[in-house]
Amino acid sequence: MPAAEKPIPSVWTRPRKQREQPALSRERIVAEAVALLDAEGIDNLSMRTLGNRLNAGATSLYRHVANKDELIELVVDEVYGELEVPAAGPDGWRDAAAQIAASTREMALRHPWVVMLLGQAGLAYLGPNMMRQTERILAVFQEAGFDAAEADQAMTTMLAYVIGLVTSEAAYLSLLARSGRSEQEWADTLRPAVEAATKDYDRLTESYAAIRDKDPARMRQETFDYGLARVLDGIEVRLTGPASTAPTDPAP
């Protein structure tokens, strides 16, 4: 078969086998894979490890999931089903967008491995949960007044902010979990080193002094809220700003 005619490798582009073992379904495999990832992280995800947790051989798994790449597509789509996307409304688009962003962050912090898998997720965006959630998020921005093309850009911009911030946030929380310390204990332990490192830099000293006694978890929340508000401010300008802000065709 010519290369151009080969099917794209994805769990979503091949027919699903109808005959399944009653005790081992794709749904059970995916649920156990999510539990494995939550407990042990991406480094410990393998078909063999998953099979052991399910008391099933790799051959049994391969009847439902062709390979690890397909498994990744399935688990990413599974956790996207947890997003809470409010109904679209012309007067409340900004509140709805903020709720979507917050829900995306919460989902990613529950499953910190998901941000590391997004680049490996192949055609995960074709999954039923991803398709359903994306349709509903686009509705929020279209109801706000964007056309189809710019609604997609607005959605992508907002989610890129969330995923970008939560990537470092999830890594930090994973480090905390491995240390066995609370956020406050970690901050207290680091304080002497931070103060010593910043003492020769006036602006850094001033910035650190302003946050030194703040609750670290609350500060993370405030940082997220601040950045999200600024992103939504920029998106809102597209709807309410002067005509000069209208999109222009890119230069040839």
Q: Determine the Cα angle at 96 with ends 230 and 119, to 5°.
A: 70
Give residue-wise pLDDT tens across range 160-201.
999 999 999 988 888 888 888 888 888 888 889 999 999 899
Query: How far apart are the two ends of the chain, measured CA to CA in Å?
Result: 37
- Residue 87: the pLDDT is 81
Contact 154, 238 (CB under 8 A): yes
Q: What is the pLDDT of residue 66?
A: 84
Range scoring the smallest mean pLDDT among 6-10, 57-61, 115-119, 169-173? 6-10
Query: Which residue from 74, 32, 67 is spatially nearest to 53, judged by alpha carbons?
Result: 32
Residue 2 burial class via C-beta count within 10 angstroms: exposed 0-12, middle 13-18, buried 19 and up: exposed
pLDDT of residue 1: 47
Residues 238-250 have a mean pLDDT of: 62
Spatial separation of the C-alpha atoms in residues 236 and 226, rounded to whole Å:
15
d(CA 162, CA 104): 7
Residue 244 confidence (pLDDT) above 90:
no
- Whether 37 and 111 have beta carbons less than 8 Å apart is answered as yes
Is residue 245 over pLDDT 90? no
- Stretch 103-132: mean pLDDT, rounded? 85
Q: What pLDDT band is residue 59 in, cutting at 50, 70 and 90? A: confident
